[in-house]
Structure 1
Amino acid sequence: MSTLVEYWRDHFDWRAQEARLNTFPQYKVRLHAIDLHFLHVPGKGPDPHPLLLSHGWPGSVFEFLELIPRLTDPERFGGDPADAFTVVAPSLPGYGLSFTPGQPRFGVEAIADCFAELMSGVLGYERFAAQGGDWGSFVTARLGYAYPERLSGIHLNMMPVRRDPQMLSNPTPEESRYLEELQVWLKEETGYQWIQGTRPQTLAFALTDSPTGLAAWIVEKFRAWSDCGGDIEAVFSRDHLLANISLYWFTGAIGSSFWPYYARMHGPWPIPSGETVTIPTGYCEFPREILRPPRSVAERTFTNIQRWSMMKRGGHFAAMEQPDALAAEVREFFRPLRRA
């Protein structure tokens, strides 16, 4: 942390990262009583399919800057231009440039409603694809449940299933492995969820007051949840880490970014009990993802899984860690669904 903060203070070039973001077309639109920020990048192909990308916490649209060109211009990276997407990548409400003080707070269901309105009501896409990880996977799953007629399919790089150790009786060996993994996760890794979900304002004062505290709170997750083997800079450059942290710091949005946790702990699961997501679903499991439920567990909620891929490397921040692999998976999954 001392090395990172020293670099942030004395050497980090925010203007270079700002320029990097500004190479992508960006907009704001008034929706659901907030000014929603989003990237809207046209695809370079004969018939680019609209694709909604949703990030999570503690991320931002900076996660997608390497992924987006691989989706909008696949030919540039050795792919087929027929696989091109037009990408829409919003900042989640309450995150980064989708935050101003005093605005309404959003849980997963409200974010999904807002994004559906953006895609169809504002941008005019009657049918579109959606992809996400972390909170973005919950938003994507909720879109698939609530707006199936608008979605050609959904793709996830985290599986948003209920985290209940009592959910399986007579588990298979693979399910037993997952239950053991889940028990460790619930015991050792969910402290951040409890404080963000029960006392968000208290934590927000501390992290809005201290840039070092904010950086530590965020960097710890990039280290713990990535496929870095304990050496965070083996996967993420300091500049890329600090671009994301700086966006939280400059916008003062860390407190509002906690709201989906508060809403989740004080409301129902985004997919109602007994309900399922029936539209075509793709999933890629990265080996250092925070939780890796087996397909038998996922199929209880997602009843139309058409692609399930086991990845060789990568973790929770797949768009940053393995942009080539994730882009290839997204292209493969949606290829037969574009005109279905």
Structure 2
Amino acid sequence: MKRRDFLKNTAASSTLLGLGSLPLSSFESANALEVKKITILHTNDVHSHIDPFPANHPKNPGQGGVARRAAVIDQIRKAEEHVLLLDAGDIFQGTPYFNYYGGELEFKLMSMMKYDLATIGNHDFDNGVEGLLAQLPHAKFDFVSANYDFRNTVLDTHVKPYKIFKKGGIKIGVFGIGVELKGLVDKKLYKETVYNDPIDITSHFAKKLKEDEKCDIVICLSHLGFEYKNDPEKVCDRMLAQKTKNIDLIIGGHTHTFLDKPIVEKNSAGQDVVINQVGAYGINLGRIDFYFDNKMNLSSTGRKIIL
């Protein structure tokens, strides 16, 4: 995103999120062995922040850093059997590490942390489509973007619209959605990349994943932005949730929004959609836990972890 002031959040929080009509408390009487749990960890807009902020930083003293994030992720993986680690874009740009290494270091470190999937943010084009392509061999994880058409660029075939994971018998479909590049990124950087309407594309792929692929959880990795109060017609995560269906979770980026806790929006069918975004610069790690009972009823809890 463009440089702007953003909301600082200083307290960890958690919330109970009922998906469909079933709250987590419904599982209390169930046999623990019958409950399946899927843990989703996520970041967004890390912007090449490898080191923690300095101890004397006026807004984020001592916070963040790859080493701390890696340690927390490792602890969670040791405690939980079924974990996915996702990123919602703008991996690049923001410190001299990107200027010097061009994204190689970021991708190598994310690979060491065993990220499973990421989408593409506007700043990930800062060295052009050729620059992004050159760094992809360093990423031991895939990229998804459903509404960027790369067919006439060097990224053709390197970015898929979605990916499906299976964890503990649960099928999880994840697709990516990106912000409009025109006016935000120099045309010479994204070249012939075509931006397609996020709502139309989301409707298509969410239905495909939920109905055709029979995914139990559908996740949108979005770099649209959480909301635009001064431009209510601009597509954002809240609008995407309201105007589509078949999505269970939107993991957002772009607006550097520090949510106190995940929010829930009603989709076009009146069903719950969880939305979360954890600020920027690797200060926070998002966590959403999905629970299924033996009848495949779904509920979730969400929180952020301050690093």
Tell me the TM-score normalised to structure 2 length: 0.32
Higher helix share: 1
Q: Which has the higher strand share?
A: 2
Structure number with greater CO (CA < 8 Å, separation at least 6) is 2
